[in-house]
């Protein structure tokens, strides 16, 4: 079976093969730290061997719950923020019909809430669900994270009023802590079906747990194929040798040492937009510490060639690109000939749209390399559950290796709490009285 491909030959104008290979011993040490559990953050390595250790009974149970929600609901709302929604969103968007929302539904629409505090967004979601059969997947380790907790309070009340407590209890699924927290207590009290977020799996590494697998299954996609792809990549990246995750981690760190402080993840398929959003959290939250770390950004080409393309081509030379290309498309559309040829496009008549897209990609890569932007290239054979599983695990493994090369703990996120303390103080949350006084004095 094909596999995703990695190549870094287009970085040679900035860093040599020798510079990249000089990081091999540090990368090998990073792989050993991961595999032996001896590095910083080793209490959050539950994702590392997850693909090969997922229990068949758990997978079957997730499929059973997904089938119930699919049978009984017009909509299923997945409530979560950060890693609790981005992985599922990335896979669902990558595999869904681009215009599914405008077509008759084959199973429920999976919607997302709790990923923002937008009042208009929440009001419009409530209006959509009014009078509709819907279910809820609420994802939160504590049950008290502000954004999802607000959404869940509103939607739980709405569902119970519309359908009654019995229906709500059967169609609310909690993905939460094994034994403690507000959501665990509520799930036990109300009799919700529930799944566990293990203590040793951080949110941004949780796609292949019930956090991601349940919404993906509800959307109608094959979670077993997703797991199979991740499993293949896990087995391919155990050794530090002949390891594309190691090569990616080494290359990006060599570029960082050479002054390339910003990595832009580039796609030429609009279905990959949310894969890039997931990737940005994965790398930003994992590496942005101790005043170090590559800044992760993304663009959707060719769309952004007409906006960000100018900056990338001619702006400050602090960037490099990682381009994701999809080799095979699911559909074929050819450009027709036109007798008048007023638009001048007859020179590409008979060609597939994807041929034009691929030449736009190649032309852009050449232009950016000529303009001093190093390019890494990753190719997916096609957009399918299997290859998405591969690339998700590839990025996760490379992230752990890269963080250790950078000498940071890739599995904590101490900076995330700063805004929360200020927000709680400004909202005068009980227990934050001193912080409220201190912050009000600054205003």
Residues marked as catalytic: 285, 306, 420
Residues facing 300 on adjacent strands: 267
Q: How far apart are CA 169 and CA 193, in angstroms?
A: 8
Residues facing 278 on adjacent strands: none
Neighbours of 113 (CB within 10 A): 26
Which ranges constitute the DSSP H helices of 371-416?
385-405
Residues 18, 21, 23, 27, Cα dihedral to 10°: 170
Q: How far apart are CA 113 and CA 159, in angstroms?
A: 14
Q: How far apart are CA 322 and CA 304, in angstroms?
A: 15
Q: How far apart are CA 266 and CA 302, in angstroms?
A: 10
Residue 364, both tokens: 């852009």
**Residues whose CB is less than 8 angstroms from the CB of residue 90 and which lie 6 or more positions away in sequence, other chains included:** 207, 274, 275, 277, 278, 388, 392
Q: Map tokens 């009654």 to a residue.
A: 164
Q: How far apart are CA 404 and CA 287, in angstroms?
A: 9
Closest CA to 85 of 140, 48, 128, 134: 140
3-state secondary structure of 428: coil
First to last CA, the chain: 60
Cis peptide before 302 (omega within 30 of 0): yes
Residue 360, both tokens: 């736009």
Closest CA to 88 of 241, 186, 246, 220: 220
**Residues whose CB is less than 8 angstroms from the CB of residue 421 and which lie 6 or more positions away in sequence, other chains included:** 432, 435
Instruction: For CA atoms 372, 279, 47, 202, give the dihedral sign.
Output: positive
What DSSP character marks residue 212? Answer: H
Angle (CA) 189 196 184, round 5° = 25
Q: Map tokens 């093969």 to a residue.
A: 17
Q: What's the half-sphere exposure (Cβ side, CA atoms, 13 Å) at 315?
A: 11
**Element spanning 359, H or E:** helix 353-370
């Amino acid at each position: 079976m094909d596999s995703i491909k990695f190549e870094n030959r287009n970085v040679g104008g900035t860093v040599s093969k020798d510079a990249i290979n000089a990081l091999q011993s540090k990368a090998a040490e990073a792989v050993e730290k991961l595999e032996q559990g001896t590095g910083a953050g080793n209490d959050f390595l539950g994702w590392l061997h997850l693909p090969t250790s997922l229990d068949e009974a758990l997978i079957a149970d997730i499929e059973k719950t997904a089938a119930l929600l699919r049978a009984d609901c017009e909509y299923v709302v997945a409530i979560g923020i950060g890693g609790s929604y981005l992985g599922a969103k990335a896979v669902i968007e990558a595999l869904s019909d681009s215009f599914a929302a405008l077509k008759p539904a084959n199973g429920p629409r999976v919607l997302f809430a709790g990923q923002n505090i937008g009042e208009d967004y929440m009001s419009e979601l409530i209006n959509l669900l009014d009078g509709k059969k819907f279910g809820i997947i609420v994802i939160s380790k504590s049950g008290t994270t502000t954004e999802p907790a607000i959404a869940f309070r509103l939607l739980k009340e709405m569902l119970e009023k519309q359908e009654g407590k019995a229906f709500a209890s059967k169609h609310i699924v909690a993905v939460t802590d094994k034994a403690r927290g507000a959501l665990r207590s509520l799930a036990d009290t109300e009799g919700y079906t529930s799944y566990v977020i293990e203590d040793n799996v951080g949110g941004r590494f949780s796609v292949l747990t019930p956090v991601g697998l349940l919404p993906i299954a509800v959307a109608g996609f094959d979670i077993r194929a997703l797991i199979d792809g991740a499993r293949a990549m896990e087995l391919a990246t155990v050794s530090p040798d002949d390891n594309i995750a190691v090569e990616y981690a080494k290359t990006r760190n060599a570029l960082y040492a050479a002054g390339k402080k910003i990595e832009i993840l580039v796609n030429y398929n609009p279905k990959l937009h949310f894969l890039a959003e997931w990737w940005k959290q994965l790398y930003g939250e994992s590496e942005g510490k101790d005043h170090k770390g590559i800044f992760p950004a993304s663009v959707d080409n060719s769309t952004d060639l007409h906006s960000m393309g100018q900056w990338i081509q001619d702006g400050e030379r602090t960037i490099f690109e990682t381009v994701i290309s999809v080799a095979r498309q699911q559909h074929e559309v050819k450009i027709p000939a036109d007798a008048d040829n007023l638009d001048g496009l007859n020179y590409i008549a008979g060609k597939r749209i994807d041929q034009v897209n691929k030449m736009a990609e190649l032309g852009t890569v050449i232009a950016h390399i000529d303009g001093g932007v190093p390019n890494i290239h990753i190719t997916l054979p096609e957009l399918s559950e299997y290859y998405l599983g591969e690339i998700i695990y590839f990025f996760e493994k490379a992230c752990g290796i890269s963080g250790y090369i950078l000498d940071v703990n890739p599995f904590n996120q101490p900076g995330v709490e700063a805004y929360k303390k200020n927000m709680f103080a400004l909202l005068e949350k009980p227990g934050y009285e001193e912080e409220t006084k201190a912050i009000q004095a600054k205003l």
